[in-house]
Structure 1
Amino acid sequence: MTMAVGPLAVAREHLAKMLSADEFAPGARLPTERDLAADIGVSRAVVRSALDELAAQGRVVRHVGRGTFVAPRQETFIAGEAVYPSPAEIMTSRLVLEPEMLPVAVASATHSDLLEMRRCLAGGEAAHTSEEFEHWDTMLHHSFAVATHNSVLIGASQLLIDSRRQPVWGSLKKRTFTPETRQCYCAEHAAIVAAVEDRDPDAAREAMRTHLRHVRINLLGP
């Protein structure tokens, strides 16, 4: 008996084939969600979920009002081998960049941006595994950058996402993931979102800084 394939799986397969085609090289713009939904035969919500997954994986970059693009290749190569930044370098970069994005997001976030933050927040709260939580954690942090409506800041956020696509980062996050950690991170995420919704740039910046310092201690120690 052949099992039915769900619409999200169909959308994933279609997009995977599309990204492997020569037509869609790094930097190429993908068709709109509406066109993709019509081509695949699924709803726009399903297409959006599949594209969200690809964005979290660093395979596409999504810009509000501009569309979805194939992500550039960010790896650095030395002697033919990919070289990734260390977890310490990643956390230092995040502490420098992400808190300072928040005042811009506070000033620029639309109602749609706020809804996306809440969607990602709910996804993280419902996550049960390290992989599920990492997906929604990545999506939420990127939603703050997207809310700035600044292509440079959005690109910087995407670069931070790309830097985490490595086994060392994944294993470190998985090793330090506990129900207590998830609960604490979710509370910190909620504080950031609430500050953005309140249009309080100082509170949003400080909430992000507090959260990232906590993440750094959990991952790397005091």
Structure 2
Amino acid sequence: MPAVEETLRALLARGAEDGTLAPGSKLPTERDLVERLAAPRSAVRRALDALERDGLVIRHVGRGTFLTDAAAPPLGGAPADTSPAEIMQVRLLLEPPVAAHAARVATQADLDRIAECLRAGGRAEDFEGFESWDARLHRAIALAAHNGLLMNMFDVMNTARALPVWGSLKRRTSSPERRRCYHEEHTSIVEALCDRDPEGAQQCMRAHLENVSDNLLGRR
């Protein structure tokens, strides 16, 4: 991640945590950010582009840049003793209906961001690259539901994917063939979203997560 983008994300995170920035808050102007970050205007614009792609800010011509609901800080992390089985149980409860709702309310910008994650995941040649884009894809789908409370819940759940027990299990059960299979399943989910097919998006997401659960745990 470029240094200016990382610094800007940290600045927004601190503001969200201390209450000086909240969903709907207007960000400083580009000129102010250039001075505050001591960075070229072009670098600040690229950083804002990245934040917009991730759904953390929205820009209105003539009005400015504003924080979205997705920028609200998570309620807390997952317990350190969360098991892979618990993670998959929660994912199966949460993500299929989220995909259905996203199919109804996603904007074209949301769908473009989701498609970008899908393409990048398909190009990834190693475990780390694929896992990174896998996580971004699922989060982009959740962002497309446009519900700040739901995103807090999703992000709490998603912190469990950073636990060592999850990472080691995913690495142990990963293979190029399995990653290709997951990419095909991701493609079916994204196609249903682009077709504005809530039932199809929900079914494809459920089938994908059930396959992931079977591969990780050997059972459902």
Aligned to 2:45: 44
1:10 aligns with 2:7: no
Relative to 1, partners in 2 of residues 1:27 and 1:74: Cα closer, same or farther, differing over 3 Å? Answer: farther
Which moved further from structure 2: 186-195 or 64-73?
A: 64-73
Contact (CA 8 Å) 2:77, 2:157: kept in 1 or not? no
Aligned counterpart in structure 2 of residue 71 of structure 1, from 46, 51, 73: 73
- Say whether 1:187 aligns with 2:165: no
Q: Secondary structure at the match of 2:82?
A: coil
Q: Kindly report the root-mean-square deviation, in angstroms, between the aligned alpha carbons of the 2 structures.
A: 3.1
Contact conserved, 2:75 with 2:153, CA < 8 A, in 1? no
Give me the whole-angstrom Cα distance separating, in 1, the residues matched to 2:13 and 2:103: 37
TM-score, normalised relative to structure 1: 0.76
Query: Contact (CA 8 Å) 2:170, 2:216: kept in 1 or not?
Result: yes
Q: How many residues align?
A: 202
CA displacement, residues 127-163 of structure 1 (integer Å, 9 cap, x when unaligned): 1222211111111111111111112222222122112
Does structure 1 residue 25 correspond to structure 2 residue 22?
no
2:142 is the counterpart of 1:145: yes
Q: Which has the higher helix share?
A: 2
2:115 alignment partner in structure 1: 118
In structure 1, C-alpha distance between the alignment counterparts of 2:57 and 2:205, rounded to whole Å: 22
Give ranges in structure 1 of 5+ residues lacking alignment: 1-7, 56-60, 77-81
Query: For the Cα contact (< 8 Å) 2:87–2:160, is it kept in 1?
Result: yes
Question: Counterpart of 1:83 in 2: which secondary structure?
Answer: coil
Whether 1:128 aligns to 2:125 is yes
In structure 2, what residue type is equivalent to 1:102? A
Shift of 1:50: 7.4
Deviations 1:55-90 (A, max 9, x none): 8xxxxx9376633636346236xxxxx634111000
- Runs of 4+ aligned structure 1 residues displaced above 2 Å come to 8-21, 23-41, 43-52, 61-73
Other structure's SS at 1:199 match: coil
Distance 1:194 1:62 in 2: 24
Give 1:46 shift: 4.2
**Are the structure 2 counterparts of residues 33 and 163 from structure 1 closer, same or farther at C-alpha, using a change threshold of 3 Å?**
farther
| Residue 213 (structure 1) aligned with residue 210 (structure 2) | yes
Asked if the contact 1:26/1:72 (under 8 Å) is kept, the reply is: no
- Could you tell me which residue of structure 1 aligns to residue 166 of structure 2? 169
TM-score by length of 2: 0.77
Confirm or deny: 8 A CA contact 2:75 2:156 kept in the other structure: no
Query: CA distance change for structure 1 residues 192 and 33 in 2, over 3 Å: closer, same or farther?
Result: farther
Distance 2:19 2:137 in 1: 23
State the Cα deviation string for residues 158-214 of structure 1 (Å, max 9, x = none).
122112121111111122221111111111001001001111111111000000011
Q: Structure 1 215/111 Cα, relative in aligned 2: closer, same or farther at 3 Å?
A: same
Paired with 2:154 and 2:137, the residues of 1 have a C-alpha distance of 11
1:62 matched to which residue of 2? 56
Q: Which runs of 5+ in 2 are unaligned?
A: 59-65
